[in-house]
Amino acid sequence: MKYISFFIYLSSVGIFTTEAIHQVEATYGCDSVCFESMILKEPNVVIDCDTDITADDLNNDLIVHFDFDGDARDNSPFMSQGSISGADATDDRFGTANSAMNFTSNEEITIPKEDRFEIIFPFSISFWAYFETSGALNQGGIFSSNFSQDDYSGIIVNRNENGQISCQVGNGTGSISPASTKSMVTVDEIPKDKWTHIAIRLNGPNSGDIFIDGCEVPTFYGGSGVWNIVYRNVPMKIGRTDTSSDINVSENYLHGSLDDFYFWNRIISEDEILYLYDRFEVPEINIADATIDCGELISIEIPSIFTNVVWSDDQVGNIGAFSTGGFYSVQGLYNCIPVCTDFFISVDSEMPLDLQDTIQTCDTLYTLESPFDVLWDDGTFGRQIEVDESGSYKLFNICGVEIGEVFVDLLSDSDNLKDTYSICSDERVSIALPDIYDDVSWSNGTTGNGFTISEEGSYTVEYSNKGCQTLETFTVEVQRCEVCEFYTANIFNPNSSSGNAIFQIKSNNPECLENSVVSIFDRWGNNVFKEKSNIPWDGLSNGKPVLEGVYVFHISGSIDDDIISQYGNVTVIY
């Protein structure tokens, strides 16, 4: 969840986690000031580790790019040129000389004003920074797209007095008070004395995010002004921002180093952020398959660059311990990117079990035994199990390694026939036993593996399989199989004298009429008649003749397990 707050007059912070319009009132000096703002949740972003981003893609909507390789030349297609005042070339994050720019008090880079710098929303900024002072000294002026002393204007990025990264937009109200800006600020402090990659995206008011070393971090929104960005006829500055009324105070300047500074008038993708973070490559977790002896314990260690490590057997941490074979997987985070791999551990067993390949028995229940405790393939652990089905049964040692297999053939198999067969009154059922059985004798005197029955009752069959006799009993039931069918005329005249004066439901089965109800409705949905389906309708409703027209009838009910439901139309004429 993203936590959002408002920074109120440099002293109070309100934390919000739900979408809503929020109001706040505070006192500034002797004045009471209030404002409101809508808080919207941003959608979750899924990171795709597979990226095809190249340096050429970064030129899309690029405003400036300074690589600071000993100069202030803009490497964007516009090739603007900045002038250096006091800043010196220094080592970059790789230790390469003259490949970054170092700033201290009163040192800056100035880029002359151009109309293309005056953008609104959206925009993105990316850079590497090395801060040499703690946040409390407030010596973190990084970037001002439109530097105007004592008059917040344009886009401003700095590391504030709390060590947090702040991206402000100035509304040009002529002061450096909170009412002159709105800002997006990281919740946590950005440490000093180390190179850190920072990417900022502002899509619009109250809609943005900040990434530190490739990972999104919690932010809140500050300032009591509006999100309007106002521009003056002033240049761009790098290494300096407007944070004090004293133009020369050191708080206005960066004490540290910058490298690879980008500024776009679009929202860059998360893939691009990962690419900018050291041309990002996700390392693999490499684990070789291993072999252990039964009872041995081995440890597998994941490099410390991976965090939040979880193993498939629910172990956590960078070291996993294993004593049983099988397939495993492990997942960890490289920065904020999930990395996963699979591996296999095999087990050498010194105790194979010598069993018969096949056991044949006339029993319908057989006990399989082992000379020592084993794990059977049904999950039972012990020396024996009882089986009631023919089939193959495997045994495993305590390490999970298969040590034997036996096929049990229960020759007296009594599961060849169903307990009950159902037929219609005019049907027959044919029952057949597999050809492996011989000496087959049915209870009505019939012999042979096939038997046809047309009468209900209880039957038995006896058969032999390699000398093992089996006796089975089954039942044949005769059921009503005909479906209810209904017939009726679709027009009738209640005044007729020719035999068409009633509406009569007919069926192929009188029982269907006895177990169903007919309901008749007029075109307004009024129920004008409801009786058993074998009772005719004479065209009257509440003792009065109904109007001419079309009526809907519904036959409903049940017979045995069958549901009766049938609709139709009938027309009344006079």
The whole-angstrom separation of Cα 462 and Cα 414 is 10
For residue 308, the model assigns a pLDDT of 92
Q: Is 265 helix (H, G, I), strand (E, B) or coil?
A: coil
Q: 351 versus 513: which is more confidently predicted?
A: 513
Domains and CATH numbers, the chain: 4-35 (no CATH), 64-276 (2.60.120.200), 290-348 (no CATH), 358-404 (no CATH), 420-479 (2.60.40.10), 486-572 (2.60.40)
* 494-537 pLDDT, tens digit each: 988 888 899 999 998 888 888 999 999 998 889 999 999 999 99
Contact between 240 and 111 (Cβ < 8 Å): no
CB-facing half-sphere around the CA of 565: CA atoms within 13 A: 2
- Segment 171-197 shows an average pLDDT of 88
Q: 353 versus 370: which is more confidently predicted?
A: 370
* 159-169 pLDDT, tens digit each: 988 999 999 99
The model's confidence at residue 245, banded by pLDDT at 50, 70 and 90, is: low
The whole-angstrom separation of Cα 431 and Cα 417 is 8
* 185-199 pLDDT, tens digit each: 999 999 999 999 999
Percent over 90 (pLDDT), the chain:
40
The whole-angstrom separation of Cα 113 and Cα 280 is 33
Task: Report the mean per-residue pLDDT for the chain.
Answer: 83
Lowest mean pLDDT among 326-335, 362-371, 536-545: 362-371
- Segment 237-247 shows an average pLDDT of 75
CB atoms within 10 A of CB 327: 10
- Residue closest to 148 by CA, chosen among 76, 254, 229: 229
Burial class (CB in 10 A: 0-12, 13-18, 19+), 553: buried
Could you give the C-alpha distances from 384 to 371, 374, 399, in angstroms and in order? 9, 8, 18
- Segment 46-50 shows an average pLDDT of 37
- Segment 555-561 shows an average pLDDT of 85
For residue 409, the model assigns a pLDDT of 83
For residue 251, the model assigns a pLDDT of 56
Is the backbone of residue 193 left (phi > 0), alpha (psi -120 to 50) or beta?
A: left
Lowest mean pLDDT among 239-253, 409-423, 546-560: 239-253
- Segment 310-337 shows an average pLDDT of 88
Lowest mean pLDDT among 142-156, 217-231, 416-430, 488-502: 416-430
Under DSSP, the state recorded for 318 is: S
Q: Is the pLDDT of residue 103 over 50?
A: yes
Lowest mean pLDDT among 3-17, 54-68, 257-271, 336-350: 3-17
Strand segments, DSSP code E, in 411-499 are 420-424, 429-432, 438-442, 450-453, 457-465, 468-479, 486-487, 491-492
Is the backbone of residue 79 left (phi > 0), alpha (psi -120 to 50) or beta?
A: left
Contact between 496 and 573 (Cβ < 8 Å): no
For residue 29, the model assigns a pLDDT of 44
Q: 282 versus 439: which is more confidently predicted?
A: 439
The model's confidence at residue 294, banded by pLDDT at 50, 70 and 90, is: low
pTM of the full structure: 0.50
- Segment 542-571 shows an average pLDDT of 89
Question: Phi and psi of 348, rounded to 5°?
Answer: -85, 125
- Give the chain's end-to-end CA distance (angstroms, integer): 75
Q: Is the pLDDT of residue 414 over 80?
A: no
